[in-house]
Amino acid sequence: MALIVHKYGGTSMGSVERIQNVAKRVAKWMRAGHQVVVVPSAMSGETNRLLGLAKDINPDANPRELDQIASTGEQVSSGLLALALLREGIDAVSYAGWQVTVHTDSSFTKARIKSIDDKKILADLNAGRAVVVTGFQGVDPHGNITTLGRGGSDTSAVAMAAALKADECLIYTDVDGVYTTDPRVCEDARRLDKITFEEMLEMASLGSKVLQIRSVEFAGKYKVKTRVLSSLTDPLMPLDLEMKSGTLITFEEDSTMEAAVISGIAFARDEAKITVLGVPDRPGIAYQILGPIADANIDVDIIIQNQSFEGKTDFTFTVPRADYQKALDLLKNNVQSHIGAKEINGDPKVSKVSVVGVGMRSHVGIASKMFRTLSEEGINILMISTSEIKISVVIDEKYMELAVRALHKAFELDQK
């Protein structure tokens, strides 16, 4: 008997029929003698609908209220799933994060899980129940409901698996595993049987939304055995086949993995770029520009400071597109005159494309191959950033898909 955490995403919970299928699958695992905790997302489109309603009422909605509203999607889907399980003849109970309790900090809309009480869940499991716990949410020390950021149910599930010391965390989604790149953008994308934790971390942080980055961080920190697999297969498929399907995140590199120099291509479509021109090149200038941006809770990604010329330099960085106007206004109103910058401009329509692979450590020429491929497609590179196992470029948004497909081909990711 094993303790398994299942996570089902929005598409997997997207209709009455799909929820019934989830219940059939969970029932199959329970009948095989396993203990199962299920973490569902809201039904597909529901979180967007709820956030849309909030913005319609108040475009500058208070983050606490946004969380109060957005968290309800998961409460509905959890209750529905518990009902479907009961209908399947499986004893089941659902809880919201605050009932468990899932403790988080108070950063509304991007809260972090601090701890999870396991008592109630273990008692239910030991009484033979399937336990359904809302994804995406928790409660802060003051009793406020918080949410974990978009895609946060992945993190709820892996954190739950870590807290319960579960044998495995199965992330059921609408694709049958982690691919070399998003199969919706590149039809030649290939499913990986395994991916190293480090590569998955890079892929997630560079924009592959198949797993939320914090879920991968939890998996790494607590060594949670995590597998990404499809929820759209026959729910009654044999358990031994299901247990081997999808993509396993591994913690060791094996020799076959080292053979692949590049294991995947990630992209972040909705980025924006801001340039502060003609700033005096003196100590503290980066802090004076980026400090106020950080204080406004805006994530800065790639940062480039040019070589100074006659004591002046240019400073460029990227932010999520949704924060572009806020960041630009902040710099123009509060920072520009203060630091004596000549001009501030930006481009709200850029994207980031990255190649990722642990094999890069032992191979040279990856960057030049990437740049040559993009130049052959006539794609201009606006910014470059590298680390030991990835190379990222910022390009005009309109070339993003072309870049992904061209790089996928150039690095022969379609071939095993």
Write out the residues near ligand ASP by the rule CB under 6 A: 9-10, 41-42, 47, 73, 135-136, 150-154
Contacts (CB under 6 A) with ligand ADP, residues 26-45: 41
**Nearest-approach distance from CB 151 to ligand ASP, in angstroms:** 5
**Nearest-approach distance from CB 133 to ligand ASP, in angstroms:** 13
Sequence length of the chain is 416
Residues 278-297 as x/- pattern, contact with ligand ADP by CB under 6 A:
--------------------
Rounded CA-CA distance 218/160 in Å is: 10
In the list 14, 151, 246, 357, the residue contacting Mg ion (rule: CB under 5 A) is 151
Rounded CA-CA distance 227/283 in Å is: 47
**Nearest-approach distance from CB 191 to ligand ASP, in angstroms:** 21
Pick the piece of the chain touching Mg ion (CB under 5 A) from 114-122, 151-159, 225-233, 346-354: 151-159
**Nearest-approach distance from CB 297 to Mg ion, in angstroms:** 22
**89: β partners:** none
> If contact means CB under 5 to 8 A according to the sort of partner, which of ligand ADP, Mg ion, ligand ASP, none does residue 210 touch?
ligand ADP
Pick the piece of the chain touching Mg ion (CB under 5 A) from 28-36, 100-108, 144-152, 259-267: 144-152
Rounded CA-CA distance 410/275 in Å is: 32
Pick the piece of the chain touching ligand ADP (CB under 6 A) from 208-216, 251-259, 295-303, 312-320: 208-216
Pick the piece of the chain touching ligand ADP (CB under 6 A) from 73-81, 176-184, 311-319, 379-387: 176-184
Of 234, 231, 240, 242, the closest CA to residue 39 belongs to 231
- Comparing every residue's Cβ against ligand ADP, the nearest one is 9
**Nearest-approach distance from CB 73 to ligand ASP, in angstroms:** 6
> If contact means CB under 5 to 8 A according to the sort of partner, which of ligand ADP, ligand ASP, Mg ion, none does residue 146 touch?
none
Structure tokens at 298: 């805006």
Contacts (CB under 6 A) with ligand ADP, residues 122-161: 151
> If contact means CB under 5 to 8 A according to the sort of partner, which of ligand ASP, Mg ion, ligand ADP, none does residue 182 touch?
ligand ADP
Q: Considering Cα of 247, then 128, then 148, then 43, what sign does the dihedral take?
A: positive
In the list 98, 179, 315, 324, the residue contacting ligand ADP (rule: CB under 6 A) is 179
Is omega for the bond preceding 101 within 30 degrees of 0, making it cis? yes
**Nearest-approach distance from CB 159 to ligand ASP, in angstroms:** 13
**Interaction between residue 197 and ligand ADP (CB under 6 A):** no
**Interaction between residue 40 and Mg ion (CB under 5 A):** no
Rounded CA-CA distance 97/159 in Å is: 12
**Interaction between residue 182 and ligand ADP (CB under 6 A):** yes
Rounded CA-CA distance 27/235 in Å is: 9
**Interaction between residue 11 and ligand ADP (CB under 6 A):** yes
Closest CB to ligand ADP among residues 341, 358:
358
Q: Which residues bind ligand ADP (CB under 6 A)?
A: 9-12, 41, 151, 173-175, 178-179, 181-182, 184, 208-210, 264
